[in-house]
Amino acid sequence: MVETYLGLPVCRLSLPCGDELKVALHGAHVVSWVSQDRERLFLSPRSVMDGHAAIRGGVPVCFPQFNQRGNLPKHGFARNLPWTVKATEPTAEGVTLTLILTDSPATREHWSVAFEAQLIIDLTPRSLMMTLKIINRDHQALEMTGALHTYLAVDDIAQTRLLGLQGQAEWDALTNAHSHAPNELSFEGEFDRVYAASARPLLLQDGANRLQIEQSETWLNSVVWNPGAEKCREMRDMPENGYEHMLCVEAAQVDSPVKVSPQATWQGWQRLTVLQDPRSQDRT
């Protein structure tokens, strides 16, 4: 179902259990995921929702470039262009929405590659799975980096912990230091680190709330980011205290480009699963 949300056309999906998802056609951008009566994604109230600028929060699709590691616009162009609904299909447990973006004059201004990108979103009770699928329609191989740049909502970043990366190679983008992840990550001040992805699920502990985070092995990295108070004040599309209520945990390909042969396909997914919410314990 397509409707208007914050001035943008969005697809709204809902389940009998009350879980609900909103996906903007601009950027194929998941802007809201309500599960167990709680918003699980952070969307900045100051985000520019004009159908041109990138949306701050939710789940931006970064393709075909991560951040500014190349000659394309920051995080690529996919998050700044309109996508098309290909299909909405019921499944045994929920519903699947597929959106597509193909090469066009707008993409060829930056990248002379024939391609089709699909974002396949599976909504089931207490779970959201997002799969980015890239089909090379060109006669030569393409190279890409990117991410599912997920902004997770937390009650208080100072009390938030992330577990599951222990022992993984860690690069601190703020200090350019290389190390290995500790048993749990906590957050005080700006935090921007790239990890070798773990085969284990990650666990976000947000007070009494627990969210499991998984990603496919086709994403080589996990990126964890919070702007902290000082940087947040410098961001025009964030409230001054926005950093207190969000943590980005991204499935990403940062430094090593994926190579996709002509007519071949690459795909990578991230799955979020609510493990516990005390406000739903008494639900019948």
Partners of residue 161 on adjacent β-strands:
205
pTM: 0.96
Count CB atoms within 10 A of the CB of residue 242: 25
Active-site hit among 149, 170, 214, 244? 149
The domain segmentation of the chain, as residue ranges, is 2-280
- 178 is annotated as an active-site residue: no
Instruction: Give pLDDT, residue 2.
Output: 87
- 149 is annotated as an active-site residue: yes
Q: What is the mean pLDDT of each run of 10 residues along the chain (284 residues)?
A: 92 97 98 97 97 96 93 93 97 97 96 98 98 98 98 98 98 98 97 98 95 98 98 97 98 96 98 75 46
Measured CA to CA in angstroms, residue 266 lies from 66, 89, 118, 141, 262 at distances of 16, 22, 10, 12, 11
Instruction: Give pLDDT, residue 284.
Output: 39
Active-site hit among 170, 214, 244, 250? 250
Instruction: Give pLDDT, residue 26.
Output: 98
How far is residue 280's CA from residue 49's CA, in Å, rounded to a whole number? 32
Q: How many CA atoms lie within 13 A of 165 on its CB side?
A: 29
Question: Hey, which CATH number is domain 2-280, 2.70.98.10, 3.30.420.40, 2.130.10.10, 1.20.210.10?
Answer: 2.70.98.10
Instruction: Give pLDDT, residue 70.
Output: 83
How far is residue 198's CA from residue 204's CA, in Å, rounded to a whole number? 14
Instruction: Give pLDDT, residue 283.
Output: 46
